[in-house]
Amino acid sequence: MMLLVYDQPGVMQRVMGEFNRKRINVETIVVGKCEMPERARIVLAIEDREKALGVLEHLRALHEVIEADLVDHSRHEAYALIQSKEGLCRVTGSVEEVDSIVTKSKPEKYVQTMNAI
Amino acid sequence: MKGARAVVELLRQQNVDIMFGIPGGVLLSFYNELEQSDIRHILPRHEQCAGHMADGYARVSKKPGVCIATSGPGATNLVTGVATAFMDSSPVIALTGQVATGVLGNDAFQEADAFSLMMPVTKHNFRITDPKLLPETIRKAFLIATTGRYGPVHVDIPVDMFTSDISDEEMAKEVKIPKPKKNLSGLLDAIKLLEKAERPTIMVGGGVAWSRAGPEIMRLAELLMAPVVTTLMAKGSVPENHPLVLGVCGMHGRQVANYALNNCDVLLAIGTRFSDRVTGKLSEFGTKTKVVHVDIDSSEIGKNVKGRVGLVGDAWTVVNALIAGLQRRTKSATWRDRMMELNRECSCDYDLRSDPIKPQKVIFELSKNLPDDAIVTTEVGQNQMWAAHFYKCYGKRMFITSGGLGTMGFGFPAALGAKLARPESVVADIAGDGSLQMVSHEFATAVENDIPVIVCLLNNGWLGMVKQWQKLFYESRYIATKFGGTPDFVKLAEAYGADAIKVERHSEVAEAIKRGVKSDVPILLDFVIDPEEDVLPMTPPGKTSADCIRGRCQWKGEVV
Ligand SMILES: Cc1ncc(C[n+]2csc(CCOP(=O)(O)OP(=O)(O)O)c2C)c(N)n1
């Protein structure tokens, strides 16, 4: 799900409050400033399409939400940040790809998120 | 100009002439400015009641009611009032003071995170941390409260905002908010469905009361030859003395109204969110029915009941569009005639003449003796359901109740707010003794400010509704529902300076009500009623009409 919101304190709480009320577990949350000034984009991964649809209109009704839409995404993306002798390295790709790179490179430390977009 | 003056001025610009609140440390500069303005300020004895008064005022005047509380405990006390307004879509503006921005988040004296507390119980809320944004935020609050689906808006104002300078440009700044979406693309489908319907029925909810679409609904009903049922929130929005109006449906609704809901083939539902108290078991509701759902809030459509057609728009506009598009009905009038006949038969005699007084008798006499423009509010519990079921609301009468949240203690302060909004009308709160004890201190406010309302106390010495559930569903194992000792309500009211009468005989009920109507001071009518009387009929929660417990109800129509 993609949301365009005003970049203000309290927005995440309000948006996540809707998911909390409807008991929807959000797999991944990516949020940050975007190409427009004073706006931020929130990208959420939700497994259950029906549930996502159920909350969509409620999100659109929020005054800090400018747009909210579902973006179907069948390929599960992953992201990893790997620390090795050579330094830091970011990896993105499908879940399998990222997983295999992480395993192969035997990093000292790493963080990995699944189902990110 | 300083922020405090700016807020008062902005309230004046929004035509606020009365507000309800309790001051505190962080509000002193605001109250200092208020003292120099012509806004009337009412001092309730508890912030919750400030919220209910503003809410009652808003429901009657259909314009925003304003309440204010100090930081910390003031704000937490106000939450129930705001949540009540939220659940019934009432445009309340709730202002709270807050500790200074410099110490926000540091647990300063009387800090509570009011912004977070209010978030899930408001349509929208703000915390002002930049004085430049103060004027536009207050303007936005009023705009949001009264645009699209009405609802409460909360503004949290740290104390240093009141003492900051606000420039003239900032004061002059106009604000805009997006227009609510309309979607009438299903209009033709809706018209087709309604024209083909054999047994069309209209169900109206609180949205119709807010948009005052009652007269248009009745025109539509006549055009469609369709009976009209109302939810609790819509009671009073259509005239209950019209043969096509079947009254309130739902758990304690009139059987004829539930019958129409269960047996119609096309249901036109307007401004209602299909609460579980209306539908019973959701999966059974309307399985045979095609639903056309009209609501101003697109997120309501399909939320509880999946309709065939959804129309997004305010009740008044959509109903007029339907009227314009519909052909005069040529189908037979069988359904309409049958429903009108059942409606007549469902009007039982509840002028019960026995002692101890039966609550139905009190409602009967209220129906008979209150003027045609009276406003009735209710508390929550049996009193509310007897009122909803038996009180007849027509003409300029209004019915105000906490439907969504079911807040005990709502009716009395809401009655005070209602009376201030329409001083020329008689205002009566139909109360239970449990509910009244939650807010009885407001007799002080009523007397101090000369707000003559009637409190009709249906005094059964129990938390009656809960007792009824214990009786019906827990084999009469009563716990925490009987009051070990109740106060002498007459003395209580008199202690505050109000009038009061105790009524113990059915033959004295009418006389007492007449005295209440004539009273020009707040008056309590303490009707000592039969504690064993239940609110029936009742469809148990999660069940269908087939499982209805009837009691005295003599409904002869079929069950489903
Ligand atoms: C603030 C609040 N607390 C508790 C409840 C739960 N409750 C619903 S009805 C009821 C009993 C109401 O008793 P009373 O006001 O005496 O009215 P009666 O049912 O006897 O007419 C209670 C406790 C509620 N609705 N609101």
pLDDT at A74: 65
Q: State residue B50's pLDDT score.
A: 98
Chain A residues touching residue B297 (CB < 8 angstroms) = 61
A57:B119 CB<8 A: no
- Chain-chain contact of A10 with B124 (C-beta, under 8 angstroms): no
Name the nearest CA neighbour of B149 among A76, A32, A60. Answer: A60
User: How many domains is chain A partitioned into structurally?
Assistant: 2
% helix / strand / coil in chain B, to the nearest 5? Answer: 40, 15, 40
Atom 23 in ligand 1: which residue has the minimum CA distance?
B463
Q: What angle do CA B252, B271, B215 make, to 5 degrees?
A: 95
Contact in structure between B374 and B397 (CB atoms under 8 Å): yes
Asked whether the beta carbons of B444 and B512 are under 8 A apart, the reply is no
Neighbours of B324 (CB within 10 A): 9
Partner A contacted by B120 (CB < 8 A):
yes
**Statement to judge: residues A63 and A13 lie in one domain:** yes
B17-25 average pLDDT score? 97
Check pocket membership of B461 for ligand 1, CB cut-off 6 A. no
How far does residue B436's CA lie from ligand 1's centre (Å)? Answer: 10
The full 3-state SS of B221-279, as one line of letters, equals HHHHCCCEEECHHHCCCCCCCCCCEEEECCCCCCHHHHHHHHHCCEEEEECCCCCHHHH
> Would you state the pLDDT for residue B34?
98
For residue B176, give the chain A residue with the closest CA. A63
A18 & A31 share domain: yes
Cis status, amide bond into B487, omega within 30 of 0 = no
Helix intervals (H) in B286-375: 315-325, 334-345, 359-369
Query: Is the Cβ of B127 closer than 8 Å to some Cβ of chain A?
Result: yes
Going by pLDDT thresholds of 50, 70 and 90, the confidence category of residue B557 is: confident
Ranges of H-type helices in B474-539: 489-495, 509-518
What pLDDT does A117 receive? 53
Q: What residues are paired with A81 via a beta bridge?
A: A90, A111
Task: Tell me what pLDDT residue A86 has.
Answer: 79
The total of other beta-carbon atoms located within 10 Å of residue A17's CB is 15
Q: Is the pLDDT of residue B19 over 80?
A: yes
Q: What CATH number is given for B187-345 in this structure?
A: 3.40.50.1220
Spatial distance between the Cα atoms of B162 and B3, rounded to a whole number of angstroms: 4
Mean residue pLDDT across chain B: 95
Is pLDDT larger for residue A82 or for residue B408?
A: B408
Give the model's pLDDT for residue A96: 85
Could you tell me the residue range of the domain that residue A37 belongs to? 2-71
Q: Give residue B28's region: left, alpha or beta (phi > 0; psi -120 to 50).
A: alpha
Rg (CA), chain B: 24
- Give the chain A residue nearest B125 (alpha carbons): A63
Q: Do B177 and A10 touch (CB under 8 A)?
A: no
CA distance B126 to chain A (A): 9
- Give the whole-number percent of chain A exceeding pLDDT 90: 44
**CATH number attached to the domain at B3-172:** 3.40.50.970
Does the pLDDT at position A73 exceed 80? no
Check pocket membership of B406 for ligand 1, CB cut-off 6 A: yes
Q: Is the CB of B465 under 6 A from ligand 1?
A: yes
For residue B384 and ligand 1, the question of a CB distance below 6 A is answered with: no
Torsions phi, psi of B97, nearest 5? -75, 160
3 state DSSP class of B550: coil
- In sequence order, what are the beta bridge partners of B499? B523
Predicted confidence at residue B282, as pLDDT, reads 62
Instruction: Write down the pLDDT at residue B546.
Output: 83
ipTM score: 0.81
| Tokens encoding B49 | 């009641």
Question: How near does any CA of chain B get to the CA of A57, in Å?
Answer: 5
Q: Give the model confidence (pLDDT) of B140-169 as tens digits.
A: 999 999 999 999 999 999 999 999 999 999
Index of the ligand 1 atom closest to the CA of residue B468: 19
Residue from B463, B472, B529, B534 whose mutation best tests the ligand 1 pocket (most atoms within 8 A of CB):
B463
Choose one of B88, B391, B462, B465 to mutate for the ligand 1 pocket test, by most ligand atoms within 8 angstroms of C-beta.
B465
Same domain, A29 and A63: yes
- The Cα A23–Cα A98 span in angstroms is 30
**Cα B236 vs. chain centroid, distance in angstroms?**
11
pLDDT at site A116: 58
Nearest by CB to residue B298, choosing from A10, A17, A57, is A57
Instruction: Mark whether A15 and A48 lie in a shared domain.
Output: yes
B433 lines ligand 1 (CB under 6 A): yes
Question: How confident is the model over B386-401, as a mean pLDDT?
Answer: 97
More confident: B360 or A116 = B360
| Cα B417 to ligand 1 centre (Å) | 21
Classify burial at B502, counting beta carbons within 10 Å of its beta carbon; exposed 0-12, middle 13-18, buried 19 or more: middle
Is 0.90 surpassed by the pTM of this model? yes
Q: What is the mean pLDDT of residues B368-391?
A: 98
Element (H, E) at B203: strand B200-204
Q: Which of the residue ranges A102-111, B38-47, B361-370 would you say has the lowest mean pLDDT?
A: A102-111
pLDDT at B211 (0 to 100): 94
Report angle CA B193, B199, B200 to the nearest 5 degrees.
Answer: 55
Kindly indicate the confidence band of residue B381, based on its pLDDT and cuts at 50, 70 and 90: very high
* Fold matches, B3-172 and B187-345: yes
What is the mean predicted confidence (pLDDT) over B247-267?
A: 94
CATH topology for B359-528 is Rossmann fold (3.40.50)
3 state SS of B140: helix
Distance CA A62, CA B250 (A): 30
> How many CB pairs below 8 A link A and B?
23
Q: What is the mean pLDDT of residues B272-296?
A: 82
Beta-carbon contacts of residue A11 (< 8 Å; ≥ 6 apart): A5, A40, A64
- Examine the domain organization and report whether A83 and A100 are in the same domain: yes
- Residue B92 CA to ligand 1 centre (angstroms): 24
Percent of chain A with pLDDT over 70: 93
Nearest residue CA, atom 9 of ligand 1?
A: B381
> Alpha helices, DSSP H only, in B354-410?
359-369, 382-390
Residue of B338, B320, B351, B343 whose CA lies nearest to B248: B343
Our CA-based measurement puts residue A54 at a distance from the nearest CA of chain B, in whole angstroms, of 7
Residue A83 and residue A32 in one domain: no
User: Which of B325-339, B478-492, B516-530 is least confident?
Assistant: B325-339
Question: Is the CB of A61 less than 8 angstroms away from the CB of B298?
Answer: yes
Q: What is the CATH number of the domain that holds A9?
A: 3.30.70.260
Question: B91: which DSSP letter?
Answer: -
pLDDT at A79: 82
Residue B517 tokens, joined: 């109507």
Written as one letter, the residue type at B341 is: E
pLDDT exceeds 80 at position B540: yes
Selected for mutation to probe chain A from B113, B149, B299 (highest A CB count within 10 Å) is B299
Q: What is the pLDDT of residues B174-209, one digit of tens each?
A: 999 988 889 999 999 999 999 999 999 999 999 999
Which ligand 1 atom minimizes the distance to the CA of B460? 20
A8 and A57 both lie in a single domain: yes
Question: Would you call B297 an interface residue with chain A, using a CB distance cutoff of 8 Å?
Answer: yes
Assess whether A81 and A105 both reside in one domain: yes
Among partner residues B119, B127, B297, which is closest to A61 by beta-carbon distance?
B297
The answer, yes or no, to whether any atom of ligand 1 lies below 6 A from the CB of B385, is: no
How far is residue B163's CA from residue B433's CA, in Å, rounded to a whole number?
45
Q: In what order do the strands lie in the sheet with B18-21?
A: B40-42, B18-21, B65-69, B92-98, B153-158, B124-127
- Kindly state whether residues A8 and A49 are assigned to the same domain: yes
Nearest beta carbon to residue A57 from set B119, B120, B299:
B299
If asked whether residues A53 and A8 sit together in one domain, one would say yes
Would you mind telling me the total number of residues written for chain B in this entry?
560
∠ CA(B58), CA(B63), CA(B66), 5° rounding?
Answer: 60
Chain A partners of B298 at a C-beta cutoff of 8 Å?
A: 57, 60-61
Instruction: pLDDT band for B559, please (50, 70, 90 cuts).
Output: low
Distance CA B435, CA B423 (A): 24
Distance B457 CA to ligand 1 centre (A): 13
Contacts of A63 in chain B (CB under 8 A): 124, 144, 177
Q: What is the distance between the alpha carbons of residues B182 and B190, in angstroms, rounded to a whole number?
A: 15
Distance (Å, whole) CA B18 – CA B416: 12
**B466 Cβ below 6 A of ligand 1:** yes
Q: In this structure, are residues B375 and B398 in contact, taking their beta carbons and an 8 Å threshold?
A: yes
Of B380, B469, B482, best ligand 1 pocket probe by most atoms within 8 Å of the beta carbon: B380
User: Taking a C-beta distance cutoff of 8 angstroms, is the pair B65, B53 a contact?
Assistant: yes
Query: What share of chain B in percent tops pLDDT 90?
Result: 89
Question: Tell me, what's the pLDDT at B283?
Answer: 63
Label the pairing between strands B18-21 and A39-45. unpaired
What would the mean pLDDT of A67-91 be, rounded to a whole number? 83
Integer Cα distance of A57 and B392 in angstroms: 37
CA B372 to CA B86: how far, in whole Å? 29
Asked if A20 and A63 sit in the same domain, the reply is: yes
With a 6 A CB cut-off, is B464 part of the ligand 1 pocket?
yes
Whether B558 shows a pLDDT value over 80: the answer reads no
Check pocket membership of B462 for ligand 1, CB cut-off 6 A.
Answer: yes
Parse chain B into domains and list their residue ranges.
3-172, 187-345, 359-528
pLDDT tens string A20-36: 999 999 988 989 888 88
Q: Is B407 in the pocket of ligand 1 (CB under 6 A)?
A: yes
Q: How confident is the model at residue B543 (pLDDT cuts 50, 70, 90)?
A: confident
Tell whether A12 and A44 lie within a shared domain: yes
Take residue B393 and report the two structure tokens written for it: 């609301």
φ/ψ of B314, rounded to 5, equals -80, 150
